[in-house]
Amino acid sequence: MLFTRIVDTSAAVGATRSRKAKTEALQTVLADAEPAEVETVVAWLSGEMTQGRIGIGWRTLSDIDAPSTDDAVLTVSEVHDAITAVASTSGAGSTTRRRDLLTDLFGRCTRGERDFLIRLMTGELRQGALEGVMTDAIAKAAGLPVEPVRRAFMLSGHLSVTATAALTGGESALAEFVLTVGRPVRPMLASPAESLSQAWTEFGGDVSVEYKLDGARIQVHRSGDDVHVYTRTLRDITSSVPELVELIRELPCTSVVLDGETLALTDSGRPRPFQETMSRFGAQSAHDLLLQPYFFDCIHLDGVDLIDEPLERRLDALERVAPRHRIPALIRPDADAAAAHADQALQEGHEGVMIKALSSSYAAGRRGRTWQKVKPEHTLDLVVLGAEWGYGRRTGWLSNLHLGARDPDGGDPIMVGKTFKGLTDALLQWQTDEFPKHERSRDEHTVYLEPDLIVEIELDGVQVSSRYPGGVALRFARVLRYRPDKTHAEADTIDAVRALLPS
């Protein structure tokens, strides 16, 4: 397949807001790809490289002096091999050798192909091919129902690998993906609840009511003495959390996969600010800030996979293996007991509670209704689209934030409001230093950003508004914190924002 097909498909996907049109464009190119090309094509159209980041910045790439060609003759495999050669070059003289390889590659590219490669290599390629759209396209190209593709992706962790299995081996190949201890599983997510009583009533009280901690999501894998700890984005942080590794090795089992939260506590046992917990993930040693784990699910124990079992059975397994490290929870409480448990969670400094159906399986990577989060205030995880220069005492600082919700069909984030409330001097300074690293463009008053940064916003609600393209606007929005543990794909959608409109 010619490389230009990928470039043209990327442009077509990015030019439409229609989920159907995106899916059809992706389906067509996947159906035409050779089996050996599928993994690369899916990765590129998802904005990733199969080689991972190759450590070359935008300035280096844009400074390469190589005239473009008018003829699109490069194939997908030729470009893939060239990138692999660059990624594998190291040692003395590697900088010059890598530049020579890139100069040769760019000299065989059209202008459009070169632009695509620069954005791909620098992580700036965003054409709207989000996971959900790509998953649908893979299923359609393979002539399969979408659910087996989703499940295989959940267990493999790699959409490109899943696509190859679907297109070359069909449903039987997808069925070969199983939970493997040591390979992280995409975490199950929760949806906002209208209220505690509504969520309790929805499941007839057949629920677990758990504290919702203001911590960092972790997934723990152990096989014998081999322990790995992953973040919600599946990043391996094992070397940064030795105290967790030691604790997991002491559990009474030979193999286990646990889902939970970790957080740092004050001397009085109350949770420290979220940012302090997150700071440990980049540290090389524990220093004086020890992390405590609190688990709420067990999806594998001693050779038995529990991912398809109901939550009630998974909680029984969790009680057997880690009873002292469970998140405080009530099983089948009546409505009054559930409300009292929620009040106690808030009094102890936590965010609220989670309501989970005891019959629910572990639907990894999905934000379903069987897990619902209950907080006293509305909060949304939104994309920072830009920031305006402040005035008065904020002169010289990037202040007023432009906030966007994620388009579930893969388009650009949809602006839903602005706010400068909740910004401390420390956050203003951080924004002013950090935002230019993500700059897309600017004018006299505003620096516009690539959709890389996620911020958690507290608000009193939303209202209908013609001011913003989504038709809604935030009411009394204020910044709670930035979420470095979340990616653009995990931001709340415009549908989630609209769901907060008064009925």
Q: Name the pLDDT band for 500 (thresholds 50, 70, 90).
A: confident
pLDDT of residue 198: 92
- State the average pLDDT over residues 462-474: 89
Mean pLDDT of the chain: 89
The DSSP secondary-structure symbol of 187 reads: P
**Cα atoms found within 13 Å of the Cα of residue 301, Cβ hemisphere only:** 20
Residue 394 has pLDDT above 80, yes or no: yes
Q: Is 5 marked as a binding-site residue?
A: no
pLDDT of residue 249: 96
pLDDT of residue 337: 96
- State the average pLDDT over residues 155-172: 91
**Domain residue extents for the chain:** 3-175, 189-374, 378-499
Q: CATH: 3.30.2450.30, 2.30.40.10, 3.30.70.980, 2.40.50.140. Which one for 378-499? A: 2.40.50.140
Q: E-strand spans in 273-377?
A: 291-301, 304-305, 329-331, 352-357, 367-374
% of the chain with per-residue pLDDT over 70:
96
pLDDT of residue 415: 95
Q: Is 356 marked as a binding-site residue?
A: no
pLDDT of residue 33: 93
Its pTM surpasses 0.95? no
- State the average pLDDT over residues 83-100: 86
Q: Is 373 marked as a binding-site residue?
A: yes
Amino acid at 101: L
What's the topology of domain 189-374?
A: D-amino Acid Aminotransferase; Chain A, domain 1 (3.30.470)
- State the average pLDDT over residues 385-395: 87
Residues marked active site are found at 212
pLDDT of residue 106: 92
Q: Is 217 marked as a binding-site residue?
A: yes
Residue 219 CA: distances (Å) to CA of 128, 235, 241, 363: 28, 10, 12, 15
Which residue stretches of 33-130 are H helix?
38-45, 58-62, 76-87, 94-107, 111-121
Residue 432 has pLDDT above 70, yes or no: yes
What's the topology of domain 3-175?
A: DNA ligase i, domain 1 (1.10.3260)
pLDDT of residue 275: 67
pLDDT of residue 173: 95
Q: Name the pLDDT band for 367 (thresholds 50, 70, 90).
A: confident
Q: Is 210 marked as a binding-site residue?
A: yes
Select the more confidently predicted residue: 79 or 273.
79
Select the more confidently predicted residue: 366 or 299.
299
Q: Is 243 marked as a binding-site residue?
A: no
